[in-house]
Amino acid sequence: MSYYDPLETRDPEEREQDLLDKLVRQLAHAKESSSYYFQLLAGINPFDVASREALAKLPLTRKRDLLDLQKKHPPFGGINSLARSSAKRVFSSPGPIYELQGKEIDPWRMARVFYAAGFRAGDLVHNCFSYHFSPGAYIFEGGARKLGCSVFPGGTGQTEQQIQAMVDLRPEGYAGTPSFLKIIVDKADEMGVDISSLKKATVSGEAVHPTVRQVMRERGISIRQCYATADIGAIAYETDGEEGLVVEEDILLEIVRPGTGDPVAPGEVGEVVVTTFNPDYPLIRFATGDLSAVMAGRSPCGRSNTRIRGWLGRADQTTKVKGLFVHPEQVAEIARRHPEIRRLRLVVDNPDGQDRMVLHCEIEAGGETLDQAVVDSIRQVTKLRGEAAFCAPGVLPNDGKVIEDSRSY
């Protein structure tokens, strides 16, 4: 078995201590060099945050907060410690949300991802992520180049031209979305041309449908997924074990209950929260808005880092009821008022065409007193009427949902 470096198979306790050491240093650096973190971490001694329990007490920075922060403190919300004038590139993701790239070729830590997908120095990567505005293509290009690969900047669209370039250049691998790879393969078959040089693909941006994976396998192309975001870069990646995604070595990952910053139990679905150690653009307890869950055990590939199940949906389940928004944070507030409740799920439906809210609560034993107290809390927190329904622990689905909109129209 081949690995990018010895970090991938180190003892988990050694990795954990290394991450916590980096955390302390990153907190101190961010507080000193970033105006946003100087205010957010006021009164907090970075050297006291030397455990996951201490980390869990720090506030979250949510992806949806970035837009407001950047409007108040342009262009990067005060999070950046690197000046715009010193950036290698500045990007614009939908929102718009602006991100910068420092001097490093691979600040997104993608070289490890390419290696796990079978890429090696000297390979030509046909890159079909977008080079327009957002960092998508550059995230993957940086990792490929750091690994020693050359890159063809294909970008998006223009399928026949992409295929012609593959016919002429004979690239070993592809980077892009799995759906566009399927389009390219199908079109090449229709055109009757040979793109059999493609043997491997690093894909992201959407889930890989099992049918697509099987079609590519039949064509001799191995697909490996990468879970990455524009802000953070690589978070987790698929290996030849093909069981979940292995967390990237240089991030600290937490799974928290949606609407809170509280870590969930191992295996429970929750929101992905990431702390990075990028000195130019520090992100501490950055809530991605994505749902996932930690998997038990070690990957069959031999890598010893934590595995997650991959992308399982969005954590922001905000919905509108009778003209008012109801947020996951409000459900979390109700839970805080009633600690005897283990897990909650607010179900919104509309029998007879009228919106109705029922808060389903896992509890050992209920009663009329608790029922009325929960109903009162629903009204106080949401400003809407709602009902309470109690069930035994373990009855509610483990899917990360705290608000379920089941209305039909």
pLDDT of residue 4: 97
List of domains in the chain: 6-308 (3.40.50.12780), 319-405 (3.30.300.30)
Mean pLDDT of 326-344: 90
Residue-level pLDDT at 397: 92
Of the candidates 184, 346, 199, the residue with the CA atom closest to the CA atom of residue 259: 346
- Please determine, for residue 268, whether its predicted confidence score (pLDDT) is greater than 80: yes
Q: pLDDT tens, 128-139?
A: 999 999 999 999
Please report the pLDDT score of residue 409 as a whole number: 60
Q: Which two tokens stand for residue 374?
A: 């929960």
208-212, 295-299, 334-338, 351-355: segment of lowest average pLDDT: 351-355
Residue 36 has pLDDT above 80, yes or no: yes
Check residue 366 and give its pLDDT.
64
Amino acid at 45: N
Q: Which of 21-30, 290-299, 315-324, 372-381 has the lowest mean pLDDT?
A: 315-324
pLDDT, position 208 = 86
Instruction: Give the highest mean pLDDT range of 4-8, 102-106, 209-213.
Output: 4-8
Phi, psi for residue 286 in degrees, rounded to 5: -85, 115
CA distances from 173 to 75, 80, 165, 170 (A): 36, 34, 13, 9
The rounded mean pLDDT for the chain is: 93
What is the rounded distance in angstroms from the CA atom of residue 158 to the CA atom of residue 188? Answer: 13
Residues 357 and 342: their CA atoms lie apart, in Å, by: 19
Is the pLDDT at 227 greater than 90? The verdict is yes
Task: Report helix, strand or coil for 61.
Answer: strand
CA dihedral 123, 126, 130, 136 (to 10 degrees): -20
**Dihedral sign computed on CA atoms, order 330, 336, 340, 343:** positive
pLDDT tens string 51-92: 999 999 999 999 888 989 999 999 999 999 999 999 999 999
Residue 9: predicted pLDDT:
97
Residue 148, CA distances (Å) to 120, 125, 142, 167, 236 in order: 7, 11, 10, 22, 21
Helix (H) or strand (E) holding 326: strand 324-326
Residue 301 pLDDT: 95
Helix/strand number for the chain, H first, E second? 11, 21
Q: Which of 104, 157, 147 is nearest to 124 (CA)?
A: 147
Could you tell me the CA-to-CA distances from 398 to 19, 26, 274 in Å, in that order?
Answer: 28, 33, 21
DSSP code per residue over 257-323: -TTS-PBPPTT--EEEEEEE--SSS--SSEEEEEEE-EESS--TTS--S-EE-----BS---EEETT
Q: What is the DSSP letter of 333?
A: H
Smallest Cα–Cα separation from 261: which of 273, 269, 253? 273
Average pLDDT for 186-214:
93
